[in-house]
Amino acid sequence: MVPTLVGITVVVFAIMAASPGGISSQALVEGQNLEPQAKKALMEYYNRRYGLDDPPPIQYLRWLNNVSPIGFTFNEANEISGFSLLKGSDLGESFRYGRPVAGLLADRVPITLLLNLLSLPLIYVIAISIGVRAATQRGQAFDVGSSVIMLALWSVPTMLTGVLLIGFFASDQYWHWFPTAGLSEREALDMPFLPHWGSAHDVLILFAGVAGGVVLALLLSRRGGRALRSVTLALLGGWAGYLMSAQLPGADWQAAPLLLPALGAAVLGGIGLLEYPGLRDAAIASIGLVTGILAVTPLMEEAFVRGFLLDRLWHLALPVICLSYSGFAFLSRLTRSAVLENLLSDYARTARAKGAPESLVLWRHVFRNSLLPLITVAATLLPGLLMGSVIVESIFSIDGMGKLAVEAVKDRDSELVLSITLISGLLNLAGYLIADLAYALADPRVSYE
C-alpha cells in the first residue's frame, strides 16, 4: 500500500517535471502583476520548496519530504536540521485561492465524499434487486428488458443526464422543481436542522396524506389485478402529465399537452405491468407517497420551515441520481451474471435436491456466494464515482473536490492539481482496503494472515 502511494507520487511528480515550462516560468507569468517584493518572495518560496536548481530526483525527494507527514526538517539555511515524526504534511499553497492546499481540501473533500457515500447504497440496492431478479428469470421478458435498459443506461454519458436533468427540472424554462446550483440555499443556513410545521394539525394532515397514499398504493400493487393496476396508474400518469404540461411557462412546445400525458401514462402504466412484486411495490408506494403529499399540501397552513436537512436533500436529489445511475446499470449486469453462474452450480442443485425452498437456495446459498464479485467491484466503483463527481459537481456547481480539480487545471494551479491527484489516489487505496476487508468478512475462506 505504501509503495503504491509512493509510486503515485512518482507518476504525478514526473508529469509535472516533464511538462514544458515548469513551475518557475509559470510563476513568472502569473506573477507579472505582482510587486517586485512579492515576486521575489514567490520565487524564493519555489526555490525553497522545490529546490529548482537541484536535479529532478532531488527535487522529487524534497517534495516527497514536504508532503509526507513524517520526515526531515530544514533550518533557515535550507539544510537538514533533524528528523521529525510530527512535522505534519505540507501540501503547499494554492495560487488561485492564496490559501494552504490542505485547508482547501479539508473544505472540499467531505462534500465529494458525501455525494459518493449517498450514491453507493443506492447503487447496491437497485443493482441487487434488479440483477437477482433478472438472473432467476433468465431469458424471460424481465431479464431481456432489464438487460437492454441497463446496457443503454450504462452508455448514457453522465454529462448528458446532468444537462438534461438540470435543463428540464431545474431551469425556469421548464419545471423549476429543483435548485440549479449549490448544496443549500442561503436562508437554509439559518433554519433549524429538522423540518418544522406550523401546528400539530398540519403534521396530522401530512401524516394522513402519506399513510393514505402509501396504503392505497400498496393495496393496489398487492390486491389489484394486473389490468386494474396498469389502468389506474396509466390514468394517474396521464393526469400528472397534463398537470406538468399546464405548468410549462413557455409556449414553444405545442405538442406538450398531448405528448406529456401520453408519456406519463406509458411510464406509470408500464410500472403497473411489472410482474416483479418487490420492485413494483417500491415503485407504486413511492408514487403513492408523492401523490399523497401533493394531495394534502393545499390543506396545510403556510408556516412550514423545511429545515437544513430537507433543504440539503432537495439540493442533492438530482446530483445523486446523476452520479448513481451508471453505477447501478453496470453493477446490475454484474449481479446478474454472478447469480446466474451460482444458480447453475452443483451446490445449488444439491440444496434444491435436499428440499430447500427456492427462496432459501437463492438468498442463503447462491446470493452469499454471488456477493464476492460485487465486493471486489466496489473497489473499482469508487474511482468511477470520483470521476463522476468531477462532472456532476461541475454541472450542478457544487463546491466539491471535483469542481476544485477542474478549476485548478484551468488555472494551472500546480500545487493544487498535484495534491488533488494525490488525495484521489489515497481515497482509492482506502477503497481497495475496505473492499479487501469486506471480502474477508463475506468469504470465510479468505484470510489475511
79 vs 172 by CB, closer to another protein: 172
Rg (CA), the chain: 28
H/E stretch holding 261: helix 256-273
Contacts by 40-45, CB closer than 8 A, 24 or more apart: 45/93
How near is the Cβ of 54 to another protein at its closest, in Å?
Answer: 20
296 vs 423 by CB, closer to another protein: 423
25 vs 84 by CB, closer to another protein: 25
170 vs 273 by CB, closer to another protein: 170
How near is the Cβ of 379 to another protein at its closest, in Å?
Answer: 9
How near is the Cβ of 266 to another protein at its closest, in Å?
Answer: 19
| Grid-cell match 393496489, residue found | 220
Cα–Cα nearest to 402, from 311, 310, 312, 323: 323
285 vs 375 by CB, closer to another protein: 375
How many beta carbons lie within 10 A of that of residue 374, not counting itself? 22
How many beta carbons lie within 10 A of that of residue 57, not counting itself? 10
87 vs 138 by CB, closer to another protein: 138
How near is the Cβ of 382 to another protein at its closest, in Å?
Answer: 8
Residue 127, C-alpha cell as written in the block:
443493482
Residue 109, C-alpha cell as written in the block:
473533500
271 vs 395 by CB, closer to another protein: 395
Cα–Cα nearest to 344, from 319, 323, 369, 324: 369
Q: What is the DSSP secondary-structure string of 181-220?
A: SSSS-TGGGGS-SS-B-S-HHHHHHHHHHHHHHHHHHHHH
Rounded-to-integer distance, Cα 110 and Cα 116, Å? 10
Three-class secondary structure of residue 236 per DSSP: helix
- Dihedral Cα 315, 317, 318, 320, nearest 10 deg: 110
Residues that bind another protein (CB under 8 A): 3-4, 7-8, 10-12, 15-16, 18-20, 148, 151-152, 154-160, 163-164, 166-168, 171-174, 180, 252, 337, 340-341, 344, 383-384, 386-387, 390-391, 394-395, 405-406, 408-410, 412, 414, 417-418, 420-421, 424-425, 428-429, 432
64 vs 210 by CB, closer to another protein: 64
| Grid-cell match 485547508, residue found | 103
How near is the Cβ of 401 to another protein at its closest, in Å?
Answer: 9
280 vs 315 by CB, closer to another protein: 315
How near is the Cβ of 242 to another protein at its closest, in Å?
Answer: 21
Q: Supply angle C-alpha 401, 155, 408, rounded to 5.
A: 20
- Start-end of H helices in 274-354: 277-296, 307-343, 346-353
Residue 77, C-alpha cell as written in the block:
539555511
Rounded-to-integer distance, Cα 9 and Cα 192, Å? 44
Rounded-to-integer distance, Cα 226 and Cα 233, Å? 11
Rounded-to-integer distance, Cα 268 and Cα 20, Å? 57
How near is the Cβ of 126 to another protein at its closest, in Å?
Answer: 19
How near is the Cβ of 343 to another protein at its closest, in Å?
Answer: 9
Three-class secondary structure of residue 314 per DSSP: helix
How near is the Cβ of 92 to another protein at its closest, in Å?
Answer: 15
How near is the Cβ of 19 to another protein at its closest, in Å?
Answer: 3
Three-class secondary structure of residue 72 per DSSP: strand
Residue 123, C-alpha cell as written in the block:
447503487
How near is the Cβ of 167 to another protein at its closest, in Å?
Answer: 3
125 vs 259 by CB, closer to another protein: 259
300 vs 377 by CB, closer to another protein: 377
